[in-house]
Amino acid sequence: MLPDLPLEPVLELVGVFVGALSGGLAAVRKQFDIFGILVLAWAAGLGGGLMRDVLIGDVPPVGISHWELIVTACLAGVLMSFLHLRIDRARRVIVVLDAGALALFSVVGTLKGLELGAGATASVCVGVITGVGGGVLRDLLTGEVPVVLHHRQLYAIPAVLGASLTAVLWLTSNLTVVTSLLAVALVFALRVGSLRFHLQAPGPWHGPRDASGRMRE
């Protein structure tokens, strides 16, 4: 029997709120009006879940059908429109909030795929998409290159590891509230730790180089 996780709706609600905060703050930095702030909060908080639900056939997706999640995203946007004046180093705050949303959504997205019988591989894929989707939409709407695609940052890799761990715990009947929170903590720690210690994903291979750093013929 598949394990029952009553914490899953709570994790999703918290993930939407945290993701929407990052979207709202990004909109404020771009000088968007209140409507733009709400749109970006909705996109960052619910964009990944919307992609996930479309892919696994759970329609209508949560981004347009669950009023409590929509209200949560909008409240986060309104809250950020008032609190942004007290936040220093907004870019750093966005990164931390985004790491929290990435961690929560990677686990929640994987769980939903497993619950609907999508299989382990597909569930890991939709978990990663859920994790990175909101951030991708936020960056595209603000005219930024999505963080998952540039600077070789460890962004998708922590999501893959967290989603994979969640699937393994599920398949071995070891998924509990505690282990699911540990999976969330793992993704968050990897993402924030990679930024703190400047860890990067491997880039393209440029061939052998000499002592001066130039490519050998």
pLDDT one-digit tens code per residue, 23-37: 998 999 899 999 999
pLDDT band at 150 (very low <50, low <70, confident <90, very high): confident
pLDDT, average across residues 150-159: 86
Residue 111 pLDDT: 93
Q: Residue 89 burial by CB count (10 A; 0-12/13-18/19+): exposed, middle or buried?
A: exposed
Residue 81 token pair: 């429109």
Asked whether the beta carbons of 184 and 111 are under 8 A apart, the reply is: no
| Mean pLDDT on 108-126 | 94
Instruction: List 209's β-bridge partners, or say none.
Output: 215
pLDDT of residue 134: 93
Average pLDDT over residues 188-210: 81
pLDDT of residue 95: 81
pLDDT band at 1 (very low <50, low <70, confident <90, very high): very low
Please give the average per-residue pLDDT across 145-152, as a whole number: 81
Average of per-residue pLDDT across 138-162: 89
Amino acid identity, position 194: S
Which of 111, 115, 148 shows the shortest CA–CA distance to 133?
148
Report angle CA 147, 54, 149 to the nearest 5 degrees: 15
Residue-level pLDDT at 73: 96
- For residue 118, give Cα distances in angstroms to 59, 60, 61, 175, 209: 15, 17, 16, 17, 46
Res. 215: pLDDT tops 70:
no
For 184-205, the DSSP string reads HHHHHHHHHHHHHTT-B-----
- For residue 211, give Cα distances in angstroms to 201, 207, 208: 24, 13, 10
Q: What whole-number percentage of the chain has pLDDT above 70?
A: 88
